[in-house]
Structure 1
């Protein structure tokens, strides 16, 4: 299995590249910070967690909101530290795609159970573009981190540098 497709994917995910620019830390701080505080908010303000998941029809809203909240707190912290960055990026990519599909399609058609934006447009293409900005930004940041890794100013980078110095 080690030489198979799954083995190659696992190695690619686990072996942090050290070629990402140092400025990658800015992307990590943005994505990690947003995920961390959004996870905390799901527990501090239940209407943003269970309440929102119930309104949009997510199955098992209590369990789902708690799961996503814990994922965001732990994953956001790992992104801030730059540890297991590529592994953490994958569930966040899935989360952002689900968030966009579960909320923005209904908004496009004007049937969203969530409150509509305060100012026009409230439905349709332009309303969706306006409202999707947060998920879109988070989706692109974690996709970037999946591709380039955490960068040199990270625990992933530190581990990669130490592995290079150690003879095998």
Structure 2
């Protein structure tokens, strides 16, 4: 991959709105995995049935903080959202698919809710779906006009053409 590809983005000024949403949510959720590990990190991961919860809790938290801050700055945006997309797909699979099915599976537990099925799963997964779609958007578009990617792209284009 050429260096130019790493920073490639469009000049859309409104992309910052999606970057702010995705970056703030991921950075703050990741930080909480360190501040409140029993509630948001290892403890939560253990209750879901995620293997090696101490390790995975801090690893996921680290990725969320670092990649969330990269998204906020618009620095290597396309690379930064790849782990975030993986985290959201994993969250949907491990916590929301049991709600859709109405039963736990493969060691992933089903939490107590008033009702199960498609509507319950969609309601419970609204945050994960918003973060997944926002991250996919940034993967396609890049950081936009107000990003470090755009500035780096300008410097690279100027010096290497």
1:59-116 CA distance string (max 9 Å, x none): 1110000000010111110000000100011111111111000011111233354644
Which runs of no fewer than 5 residues in structure 1 stay unpaired? Answer: 1-6
Structure 1 residue 52, shift from structure 2 partner: 1.1
User: Which residue is 1:70 aligned to?
Assistant: 62
**Would the aligned equivalents of 1:39 and 1:72 in 2 still touch at CA under 8 Å?**
yes
User: Which residue is 1:146 aligned to?
Assistant: 139
User: Which residue is 1:82 aligned to?
Assistant: 74
- 1:79-118 aligned within 5 A: 79-111=71-103, 113=109, 115-117=111-113
Cα separation, partners in 2 of 1:32 and 1:39, compared to 1, 3 Å: same
Cα separation, partners in 2 of 1:54 and 1:87, compared to 1, 3 Å: same
Quick one: distance in 2 between partners of 1:131 and 1:50?
A: 21
Which runs of no fewer than 5 residues in structure 2 stay unpaired? Answer: none
Structure 1 residue 45, shift from structure 2 partner: 1.3
Quick one: distance in 1 between partners of 2:75 and 2:148?
A: 5
Quick one: distance in 2 between partners of 1:148 and 1:165?
A: 21
2:159 matched to 1:166? yes
Question: Size of the alignment, in residue pairs?
Answer: 156
**Would the aligned equivalents of 2:11 and 2:150 in 1 still touch at CA under 8 Å?**
no
Structure 1 residue 167, shift from structure 2 partner: 4.3
TM-score by length of 1: 0.86
**Backbone CA RMSD of aligned residues:** 1.7
Structure 1 residue ranges, 4+ long, deviating more than 6 angstroms after superposition:
none
Structure 1 residue 20, shift from structure 2 partner: 4.1
Cα separation, partners in 2 of 1:167 and 1:124, compared to 1, 3 Å: closer
Quick one: distance in 2 between partners of 1:38 and 1:72?
A: 7
